[in-house]
Amino acid sequence: MPTTRHGLPGTTLERHIMDRQPDAPQATGELTRLLQQLNLAAKIIGSRVSRAGLAGMLGLTGDVNVQGERVQKLDEYANQTIVRVIEAGGYCCVMGSEEVAEPIPIPDPYPKGRYVLQFDPLDGSGNIDINASIGTIFSIHRRKSPAGEAGVLSDLLQPGRDIVAAGYIVYGSSNMFVYSAGDGVHGFTYDPGVGEFFLSHNDIRIPERGSTYSINEGNYHKWTPEVRRWVDWVKRADEGKKAYSLRYIGAMVADLHRTLLRGGIFAYPADLKNTHGKLRLLYEASPMAFVIEHAGGAASTGTGRVLDVEPTALHQRTPVFIGSKLDVEDAVRVMG
Ligand code: AHM
Ligand code: MG
């Protein structure tokens, strides 16, 4: 591990965000403070996730969200936590969430800030009730609309290449906060005794090639022949190429966290049921693509770079092939 000042063991996430001044050269400190508020939201959600079985937080609320999915109590709790922390913080002008159909305005009397936040409050929520890993995903853009006014939908419909910072929190055997503000990808592990995330993975680089593929193979018969051809190819030993093993947790944050550290490829292609793929561009695919690219990996829709897709709707979906650079290149090539 490099021993720069920012890479020293014992560096808290709070300190790291402050020292790096991600909003330099403008350096108003607003992006720094917005990231610190996300640090707080992550601690609150993480604490509730770890006590969910005791706090009566397992199970469904009885509601169905904009995606037609049944809402879990923890989905709602996580969404409310992020909204409340960020709206009062003064650095965002509008938010977009997987759990909310329309853009989330910043209510009066709170100031309307320079940034736009998109998030999936609790991704992989099917894993909640079985104590398997879940996560929160976020990305931050600069606003496009005039300063000081309420943010609008077009502030949210920006391509991933214009993200200024993005990351995720994985709630697993330990909780980790992983983020990039365009200056490397850094991982922090939560110490529950102290109540802080501490730097544990400085400047993460994804291996150029891995040995696992991660996909819901139960959809095999719903895939296009091109996707089937790639999956048949990737798990076969062939002319010097080893056979890849399958790893699938069913929560994108957890599957991509493993992929980031170990290499390999995660994919959710289009299929007969999900004709545009399942994962949402703005608060799932783009933030994770930003992190993986900044770690040296790649993210493709199968036909182009995820970060270059021009969004047209808040909840639009996209096929994804994300991970080690050479593994993503192979997938695109084999699918033709
Ligand atoms: P969610 O946001 O409603 O939890 O759904 C997204 C999740 C991803 O985390 C995961 O990669 C995918 O859905 C799993 O889907 P499937 O169960 O179809 O394999
Ligand atoms: Mg999700």
Atom 18 (ligand 1): residue with closest C-alpha? Answer: 216
Domain boundary among 149, 181, 201: 201
Hey, what's the torsion of the CAs at 117, 133, 317, 75, to 10 degrees? -60
pLDDT of residue 176: 97
pLDDT at 120: 97
Q: What is the pTM of this model?
A: 0.93
Residues 26, 170: one domain? yes
Domain boundary among 168, 201, 234: 201
For ligand 1, is residue 165 a contact (CB within 6 Å)?
no
Domain total in the chain = 2
Inside any domain, residue 5: no
For residue 124, report the distance from its CA to the centre of ligand 1, in Å: 5
* 62-89 burial: b if 16+ Cβ within 10 Å, else e: eeebeeeeebbbbbbbbbebbbebbbeb
Can you give the pLDDT at residue 25? 59
78 lines ligand 1 (CB under 6 A): no
190 and 221 together in one domain: no
In short, whether 318's Cβ falls inside 6 Å of ligand 1 is no
Same-domain check for residues 132 and 153: yes
Q: Is the pLDDT of residue 61 over 90?
A: no
Structural tokens at position 183? 């200056």
Could you read off the pLDDT of 270-280 as tens digits, one per residue?
999 999 999 99
| Cβ pair 178, 185 in contact under 8 A | yes
Report which protein residue has its CA nearest ligand 1's atom 19.
216
Same domain? For 186 and 235 the reply is no
Residue that finishes a domain, picked among 201, 227, 261? 201
Residue 139: beta bridge partners?
Answer: 118, 166
Residue 190 has pLDDT above 70, yes or no: yes
Q: Is the peptide bond before 311 cis (omega within 30 degrees of 0)?
A: no
**pLDDT score recorded for residue 77:** 92
Section 258-266 average pLDDT: 98
Among all bound ligands, the one having the nearest atom to the CA of 124 is: 1
Which range marks the domain in which residue 197 is found?
A: 13-201
| CATH number where 232 lies | 3.40.190.80
Q: Are residues 294 and 235 in the same domain?
A: yes
Residues 176 and 247 in one domain: no
Query: What residue owns the CA closest to ligand 1's atom 17?
Result: 250
Q: Quick one: pLDDT at residue 71? A: 73
Between the CA of 251 and the centroid of ligand 1 the distance, in Å, is 6
One domain, residues 269 and 171: no
Using the mean position of ligand 2's atoms as its centre, give its distance from the Cα of residue 284 in Å: 6
Q: Which ligand is nearest to the CA of 69?
A: 1
pLDDT in tens, 139-166: 999 999 999 999 999 999 999 999 999 9
In this structure, the answer to whether residues 235 and 160 fall within a common structural domain is no
Looking at residue 3, its pLDDT comes to 38
